[in-house]
């Protein structure tokens, strides 16, 4: 009886088995699996490309294209005014930016300072999995523009 509590339900075990051992070419379900998998990969690649292009079009933001990735790490340029405001608030500058982004848009990103970045550089981690990229990235762009107006470069 103890093993019942320690093991996942049968459906969970079957699901994991299907993920780690997909159908092989020539098997009955291979064609459908391949079609669905390719469609998912294509949709993710299109989202990433669209997000990278939109972010790179924003002054003060640069983002490396990462096909096949689940996350992007845009680099953001922050003014001395923004850095000072962050320090006054007791926050790392990228964390200050991320919290302001969350408050303004509801979009949650992870500050790059949590990943170890070069001194004086600021990033955030952003998921690429969400559908509705146009609206999502549009909010990021508008926020960055508003943030840089509030904390302009000298």
15-29 pLDDT per residue, tens: 788 778 889 999 999
Quote the percentage of the chain above a pLDDT of 70. 95
Number of other residues whose CB lies within 10 A of the CB of residue 145: 14
Number of other residues whose CB lies within 10 A of the CB of residue 7: 10
State pLDDT tens for residues 123-136: 999 988 878 888 88
Residues 96 and 85: beta-carbon distance below 8 Å: yes
pLDDT at 22: 87
* CB contact set of 8 (below 8 Å; sequence gap of 6+): 16
Number of other residues whose CB lies within 10 A of the CB of residue 32: 10
State pLDDT tens for residues 88-125: 999 999 999 999 999 999 999 999 988 888 888 999 99
* CB contact set of 63 (below 8 Å; sequence gap of 6+): 51, 52, 55, 56, 72, 73, 74, 75
pLDDT at 1: 46
Confidence of residue 10 (pLDDT cuts 50, 70, 90): confident
């Amino acid at each position: 009886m103890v093993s019942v509590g320690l093991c996942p339900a049968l459906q969970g075990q079957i699901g994991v088995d299907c993920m780690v051992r997909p159908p092989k070419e020539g098997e009955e379900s291979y064609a459908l699996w391949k079609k669905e998998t390719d469609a998912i990969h294509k949709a993710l690649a299109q989202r990433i490309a669209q997000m990278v292009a939109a972010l790179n079009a924003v002054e003060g933001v640069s983002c490396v294209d990462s096909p096949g990735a689940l996350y992007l790490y845009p680099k953001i340029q922050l003014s001395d005014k923004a850095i000072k405001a962050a320090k006054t608030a007791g926050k790392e500058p990228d964390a200050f930016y991320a919290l302001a982004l969350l408050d303004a848009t509801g979009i949650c990103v992870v500050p790059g300072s949590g990943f170890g970045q070069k001194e004086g550089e600021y990033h955030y981690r952003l998921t690429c999995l969400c559908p509705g990229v146009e609206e999502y990235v549009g909010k990021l762009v508008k926020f960055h523009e508003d943030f840089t107006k509030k904390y302009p470069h000298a």
